[in-house]
Chain A
Amino acid sequence: MNYPGKGLVEGLAVTARNFVGSYFYKDRLTTVQYPEERIQTPENSRTFPFLVFDESPDKPRCTACKICEVECPPKCIYIVMDRDDKGKPLQRPKAFDIDISVCMQCQICVEVCPFESIKMDNDYEKSKYGRFNDLVQRLPDLLKSNDYYRQIKPVKAAEVDAKLKAEAEAKAAKKAAAVAAAAAKAAATPPAGSAT
């Protein structure tokens, strides 16, 4: 049946159904009452980068190779390599700053990092009162343990751990092989100095 005002009346019926339904069916309401309830963020979820260390914060995985600094699209990373007294590079960052007001959470630094050192956090409560200095994350703020990484992204972390372990084993095996080879070599040719 078609009568003038049919669409208007049907519209009223739809809103009435939603009005009543919202009291009876919880799933109609999508609001999350934030401070009391929180959404479990999915594992892939990403906010800002952090740096992983294995045993202690003194020895981060980061080698200050500056690849992420170069590849970062908005150029929000600033790295200074640590050097010893003689000026020899120490393969670790002295300063590692990320300006999270510039960072656009694109994850490219994570993808290009060859050392599995920089990872995406999923902590979304990063509001600060200050506008400038508070939003620059320094090295101590950025360093987080591998356990933390395992906790927020279990699947990914397990993959990374396995990969690193395999690499380390390969390296150790290579080293052992090299040592063995050197020893074999040493055994085969008598030391030249012994004759003299």
Chain B
Amino acid sequence: MIAAPSTIPAGGAITTQLLEISIGPQHPSTHGVFRMDVVLDGEVVRALKPVVGYLHRNHEQLAEKMSWLGSMPYTDRLDYFNSMSNNWAYALAVEKLAGIKVPERAEYIRVIMAELSRLQNHASAIGFLLQDCGAWGTPLLYAFKEREKILDFFETVSGSRMMCNYFRFGGVRVDLNDEMLAMARKIVAEFPKFLDEFEKLMTTNEVVLARCQRVGILPKELAIAGSISGPVARASGVEYDIRKVDKYGVYGQLEFGVPVGAVGDVYDRYYIRVLEMRESVKILQQVLRDIPAGPVQAVEVKLRGFKIPAGDGYGRVEGAKGELGFYLVSEGGPKPYRYHIRPPSFINLTVLEDMCVGHKVADAIIILGSIDIVLGEVDR
């Protein structure tokens, strides 16, 4: 039994206590085995401590005991929503280190894959966000319906829906034939229709506006100081997109805009993702129009006994969740000496408390949803 309540002091003021609750690791909307240790004053969050590590798989250490290629399938399992971008970041780091030149067709294919990943990731991210708002699965399932088509495409090309393991150092594993390209074009042509419907369902919905606007504001300064990246940073007004900064792949030749928000609340993070999807569709249209013929794999790269000259390199891409980087140190052997990942989900999570304090419990949940984390990447 809970102890008898303390007596009410003279003057009528009731002594109250802060309530500490543990949201997660088993909770429907912590997006995996993530725990938030929340201190509540009634419904208001007074302190919040993110607790991670429930899904730790020792990825970095494992990779240091494995051949360079052997880590590639493991990168799929970091952020399992965008295995393609993860592959790309790792391949980019290795290519930088080994000085491999990637054929042009392969670069175009990489862009197609990365942008399709972004589409399906953002679609499901905002679907999950609205699910956290309490929309009983309707937006999420509309998003998943669209994601299904993209996953089917990934399966047709790479053999697997989520764990694609598609990129290779110096190219990609399978060439796209005309049938596959037609499939991709169809997906890209249909995607804006889905977006329009989704926006009609949710963007102007008064409940969504009331729930999301002016909630969980991340100031620009804090976003920069916390090294936040991706849509979360751009919603706060940070003009930073690695596709524009590094111009890796063929992004330098493509025309696209990077939407930037001003307020940095949950609504901005939601809407920036919608706008980014529209830009991704533009990129895909250009790439699918201009894709050149040619080989998809640099000939000099061998699969077995692949060695890299000693040195270190950092490869990064603009993943759907932010800056995804791989820092590799080679001693000249068949496996990396040091293998480090900069996971965007994990780093974006560090500002969670700053965004949540002072808001209600329900807001803490949607703020977490708006950061868009994947626990596979947070815990590695």
Residues of A within 8 A of B (CB): 4-8, 10-11, 13-15, 18, 30, 41-42, 44-46, 67, 71, 73, 104-108, 111-112, 120
Contact = CB atoms under 8 A, between A and B. Distances in A.
B154 to A, nearest CB: 10
Contacts of A18: 142
Interface string B48-92: 000000000000000000110111111011000000000000000
Contacts of A13: 200
B208 interface: yes
27 contacts: A6-B204, A7-B203, A7-B206, A7-B208, A7-B209, A8-B206, A10-B201, A11-B200, A11-B202, A11-B205, A14-B201, A18-B142, A30-B148, A41-B155, A44-B155, A44-B156, A44-B157, A45-B156, A45-B159, A45-B160, A105-B163, A106-B76, A107-B165, A108-B72, A108-B73, A111-B303, A120-B159
B204 A10 contact: yes
B206 A10 contact: no
Nearest to A73: B70
Contacts of A14: 197, 200-201
A28 to B, nearest CB: 8
B304 interface: yes
Contacts of B156: 42, 44-45
Contact of B159 (A46, A67, A108, A112): A46
A161 to B, nearest CB: 19
B174 interface: yes
Given A42-B156, A44-B158, A108-B69, 20 more contacts: A7-B209, A11-B200, A11-B205, A14-B200, A30-B148, A42-B155, A44-B157, A44-B174, A45-B155, A45-B159, A45-B160, A71-B67, A71-B304, A73-B66, A106-B73, A106-B76, A106-B165, A108-B70, A108-B165, A112-B303
A13 B197 CA distance: 10
B160 A7 contact: no
A73 B71 contact: yes
A7 B205 contact: yes
Contacts of A105: 160, 163
A44 B159 contact: yes
A7 B69 contact: no
B145 interface: yes
A73 B204 CA distance: 48
A67 B304 contact: yes
B207 interface: yes
B206 to A, nearest CB: 5
Interface in B334-351: none
A112 B304 CA distance: 7
B191 to A, nearest CB: 15
A5 B206 contact: yes
Contacts of B202: 11
A45 to B, nearest CB: 5
Nearest to A120: B159
Given A14-B201, A112-B304, A4 B206 contact: yes
A125 B148 CA distance: 20
B213 interface: no
Contacts of B200: 10-11, 13-14
Given A15-B138, A105-B160, A112-B304, A73 B205 contact: no
A14 B200 CA distance: 7
A66 B66 CA distance: 16
B89 to A, nearest CB: 17
A73 B72 CA distance: 9
Interface string B159-187: 11001010000000110000000000000
| Those 6 A-B pairs whose CB atoms lie nearest each other, nearest first | A106-B73, A7-B204, A46-B159, A7-B205, A73-B70, A42-B156
A127 to B, nearest CB: 18
A104 B162 CA distance: 12
Contact of B160 (A8, A46, A71, A112): A46
Contacts of B204: 6-7, 10
Nearest to B76: A106
Given A4-B206, A8-B207, A10-B200, A73 B73 contact: yes
A123 to B, nearest CB: 14
Contacts of B148: 30
B163 A30 contact: no
Nearest to B207: A8
A108 to B, nearest CB: 7
Nearest to B204: A7
A6 B204 CA distance: 8
A127 B113 CA distance: 31
